[in-house]
Amino acid sequence: MNTELLGVIVMFLGTLLLALPLGKYIAKVYAGEHVWTDLIFGPVEKMFFKVSHIDVRREMTWQQHLVAMLTINLIWFLWAMFCLVNQNWLPLNPDHIAAQTPDQAFNTAISFLVNCNLQHYSGESGASYFTQVYGLMFLQFVSAGTGMAAAAVVFNALRERTTDKLGNFYNYFLKSCTRILLPICIVIATVHIFEGTPMTFKGMDTMVTMQGDTVHVSRGPVAPFVAIKHLGTNGGGFFGANSAHPLENPSYLTNMVQMIAQVLIPFAMVFAMGFYLRRKKLAWVIWSVMTIGFLALVIPTINAEVHGNPEISKMGISQPLGNMEGKEVRFGARASAYWSIATTVISTGSVNSMHDSFMPLSGMNMLLGMMVNSFYGGVGVGFLNFYVYLILAVFIGGLMVGRTPEFLGKKVEAKEMKIAMIVALLHPFLILAGTAIASHLAAHDTPMGWWMMGADGKPLHATAWLNNPRYHGFSEMLYEYTSASANNGSGFEGLGDNNPFWNISTGIILILSRFVPIIGPVAIAGLLAGKKYIPESAGTLKPDTATFGLLILAVKIIIAALAFFPALALGPIAEWLSL
Amino acid sequence: MRKEFLPSLLLTVLCILFFSGFYPLLMWGVAQLAPNKGEGFVVSQNDKVYYKNIAQNFTGDKYFWPRPSAVAYNAAGSGGSNKGPSNPDYLASVEARIDTFLVHNQGVKRSEISSDMVTASGSGLDPDISVASAMLQVQRVAHARQISAEDVKQIVNKVKQGPLLSIFGPGKVNVLELNIKLDQIKQ
């Protein structure tokens, strides 16, 4: 069998095999049961809570959870802004990197806070080691912890009882970081260090090449950063080229580890829900729906990349490795194509090859992954997004059988539906409105003034942000807003996005598309938890069946297709037809 | 919100110390046990030290060439061309690379060229080329060095790496290792 394909299959099955025991472990952690890590981290957490005056026995309502979450997120934002605009004089800056401009710092701080990592800078020249470790890597831990804590609140609310007490936010948050993220990160970082990823605080090195050129080589504390970047589905690279960089991802082994790491917790959270609620069958139904969606995107993408670029075939050379523009030889086209879809269906957004140079239909599949945003989805939030679709499917299913819609013994009524609809419609609204404004400006080649200036300080025209003409240029803008709204962070990186226009517009989208899809599902779950529990009867719509799974899939496809097909037709589909 | 502020602030400070202080320090400790103490893998030749995983620019006929780079092999940055598959400028630059390759590699047929030699890598620092692309350059290198093509081919076979554990992923050749080996036979 083809070794490249075998590598991909093992990455997928390996993730599943690891996610099952991890899911069980996560369920135990959130249920407060005894686990082996109590011995190591138990005392540390106790000390943290004592110093912070936090009583973890105080159970919170869903509103109190949200207040605590938003408060601590605000503090993190201010800390990140402080790091970014002061990095020039703060310690650990051996490469003498300048401070980020306020609009760029705003975009960077927001995008790491919301687990997106859009990165309108390059790590080599735009962030000091202090910023990378104390600002950005810190946010990579805690933003993942926030998403997981929100999912834990929803798990708690789905239990078969009537209550408004849904556990303690700080407890869920800290344990997500200490019990789940940190131990696995230590393992991942260790593998990377021994495979050649740097872990040093010495700055850039200078070497004279064999031909006699003098070259500077950026290094840094990369290994620990790469570990949490993937495990927490953050995706922000230490270097500009992200995981395509031969120091950030030096071998096929590290590529497999990074790939498994980023999909691991999104898988495990689904199984964790199954163990936590003792509804394993429901977990498998949800996982299967997600997997069908994932495979429907990944298989055609691998196929398109393996067949290479028809425009290059016309030149008469051979493409035995497939479409290699923007890809690395040590990974090959198959592992790169698999990564491109995995990183977009979950909200990682790290890349091991340049998405801008993929075939048009591959680009469309990446866009679809982010547009649906819950075929697995990011740590914690992927489950929350799926939960919104689930509520919509329950409602539609209820109408079809002619009964009041119920989910796990709770009546779904008008208030919950309104929240679910707002969350479901916000995502296409932000993407399409943003893309419409940007394409209007580009189509008229509007002078941008302060909103976009060249290196010489002169204002530029809107088309200057495009790196490719025609349909592909449109795709670049569509991709940027889709990535922002999905909190993904990957990009068609040709887009010239480090200017106030893109920094500010995507920054605003990032805030909305992070917090509304967390607040919404937590509110729905909280409202449902307070309702009377109705035991299952013969007329109950059973959620843990294949039929209901298909219904969820249909709801997703209808929403995504109706909302996004016109935009996709103008970008990737038009480009594909023109090849 | 006011009630949550102080606990949130204190917890944040402790988390910064733990995840950004303790964790990287622990990994730094691990790195001291790794090859070259976690400062990147290096290879040395004649007292000169090179980074094994960072592609260098080779333009002379007597050296094997790496893949094209969108960042001119400058490892103080990194990145790809980000050109779309239908971009006319991009296609013209690929055409130009094919012509250059054919001029320098007499006897190689156009249809034999593997696309990895004429497309820019994702990082601009890709240290590897495919085995097929290395074999295509054997004649040129042997001719420029006045040695037999068989000897050069042997070096390629010695340096080339198979898939991980022989079963996962593609095979490849590290261009820097290849060129170091070549310079060694001269001596």
Q: Chain A partners of B53 at a C-beta cutoff of 8 Å? A: 196, 246-247, 250
Task: Please report the residues numbered 177 through 216 in chain A whose beta carbons come closer than 8 angstroms to any beta carbon of chain B.
Answer: 177-178, 182, 185-186, 189-190, 193-194, 196, 198-202, 204-205, 207-211, 213, 215-216
Residue A347 is predicted with a pLDDT of 87
Task: Say if residue B69 is in the same domain as residue B9.
Answer: no
State both tokens at B18.
């733990």
A7 and chain B: CB distance < 8 Å anywhere?
yes
- Most B-contacting residue of A199, A202, A251, A367 (CB-CB within 10 A), to test interface: A199
Average pLDDT over residues B56-67: 92
Our count of domains for chain A comes to 1
Same domain, B141 and B50: yes
| Closest CA–CA distance from residue A391 to any residue of chain B (Å) | 30
Cβ distance of A216 and B74 shorter than 8 Å: yes
Cβ pair B125, B71 in contact under 8 A: yes
Share in percent of chain A as helix, strand, coil (round to 5) = 65, 5, 30
* Structural domain harbouring B65: 41-186
**B7 and B52 housed in the same domain:** no
What pLDDT does A1 receive? 66
Residue B9 has pLDDT above 90, yes or no: yes
Which residue from B minimizes the CA distance to A354? Answer: B122
Compare all CA atoms of chain B with the CA of A352 and give the residue at the minimum distance: B122
CB A333 within 8 A of CB A2: no
- CB of A221 less than 8 A from some CB of B: yes
Kindly determine whether residue B170 and residue A141, on different chains, have CB atoms separated by under 8 Å. Answer: no
For residue A390, give how far its alpha carbon lies from the nearest alpha carbon of chain B (Å).
31
Q: Kindly give the parts of chain A with pLDDT less than 50.
A: none
If asked whether residues B45 and B101 sit together in one domain, one would say yes
Contact A325 B16 (CB under 8 A): no
Range of A283's domain?
Answer: 3-578
Q: Which of B53, B86, B98 sits opposite A196 (nearest CB)?
A: B53
A-B interface: how many C-beta pairs under 8 angstroms?
Answer: 370
Mean pLDDT, chain B, rounded, equals 91
Give residues 384 to 443 of A whose Cβ lies within 8 Å of B.
none
- The answer to whether B179 contacts chain A (CB < 8 Å) is yes
First-to-last C-alpha distance (Å) of chain B: 74
Residue B9 and residue B56 share a domain: no
Best to test chain B binding among A46, A49, A191, A357 (most B CBs inside 10 Å): A357
Report helix, strand or coil for B164: strand
Both B27 and B58 in a single domain? Answer: no
Q: How far is B156 from chain A (nearest CA, A)?
A: 16
Round to whole Å and give the CA distance between A213 and A554: 58
B29 plus B56 within the same structural domain: no
Query: Are B40 and A205 within 8 A, CB to CB?
Result: yes
Task: Judge: A125–B78 Cβ closer than 8 Å, yes or no.
Answer: no
Contact B88 A469 (CB under 8 A): yes
Q: A171-200, pLDDT tens digit by residue?
A: 999 999 999 999 999 999 999 999 999 999
How far is C-alpha A94 from the chain's CA centre?
31
Q: Which of B55, B75, B114 sits opposite A318 (nearest CB)?
A: B114
Residues 6+ apart with CB under 8 A from A56: A49, A168, A170, A171
* Domain shared by B47 and B110, yes or no: yes
DSSP A499: S
Interface test with B, best of A210, A228, A476, A478 (most B CBs within 10 A): A210
Number of domains in chain B: 2
Q: Does residue B85 sit in the same domain as residue B117?
A: yes
Per-residue pLDDT tens digits for B111-155: 999 999 999 999 999 999 999 999 999 999 999 999 999 989 999
Rounded CA-CA distance A476/A128 in Å is 28
CA–CA dist A283, A311 (Å, integer): 44
**Taking CB atoms and an 8 Å cutoff, what residues of chain B touch A218?**
75-78
Copy the structure tokens of residue A498. Answer: 């480090």
Tell me which residues of chain A, numbers 47 to 66, contact chain B at a CB-CB cutoff of 8 Å: 48-49, 51-54
Query: Does any CB of chain A come closer than 8 Å to the CB of residue B57?
Result: yes
Closest Cα of chain B to A453: distance in Å?
21
Instruction: List, in order, residues 6 or more apart from A252 with CB less than 8 Å away.
Output: A7, A330, A331, A335, B163, B164, B168, B169, B170
Q: What local confidence, expressed as pLDDT, does residue B186 receive?
A: 59
ipTM value greater than 0.85: yes
Structure tokens belonging to residue A87: 């990095």
Tell me, yes or no, if A305 comes closer than 8 A to chain B by beta carbon.
Answer: no
Nearest to A215 among B34, B53, B74 (CB): B74
CA-based nearest residue in chain A for residue B34? A194
Chain A residues with CB under 8 Å of B61 CB are none
The answer to whether B53 contacts chain A (CB < 8 Å) is yes
Has residue B185 got a pLDDT over 90?
Answer: no
Report the chain B residue with the minimal C-alpha distance to residue A305. Answer: B85
Interacting residues of A127 by C-beta distance below 8 A, sequence separation 6+ = A84, A87, A97, A100, A108, A121, A135, A136
Q: Chain A interface, mutation test: which of B1, B11, B182, most A Cβ atoms within 10 Å?
A: B11
Tokens of A446: 């509007």
Examine the domain organization and report whether B107 and B143 are in the same domain. yes
Q: Which of B16, B57, B126 sits opposite A138 (nearest CB)?
A: B16
Is B89 in the same domain as B63?
A: yes
> What DSSP letter does each residue of A389-442 carry, written as one string?
HHHHHHHHHHHHHTS--EETTEE--HHHHHHHHHHHHHHHHHHHHHHHHHHHHH
- Rounded distance between C-alpha atoms, residue A153 and residue A176, angstroms: 12
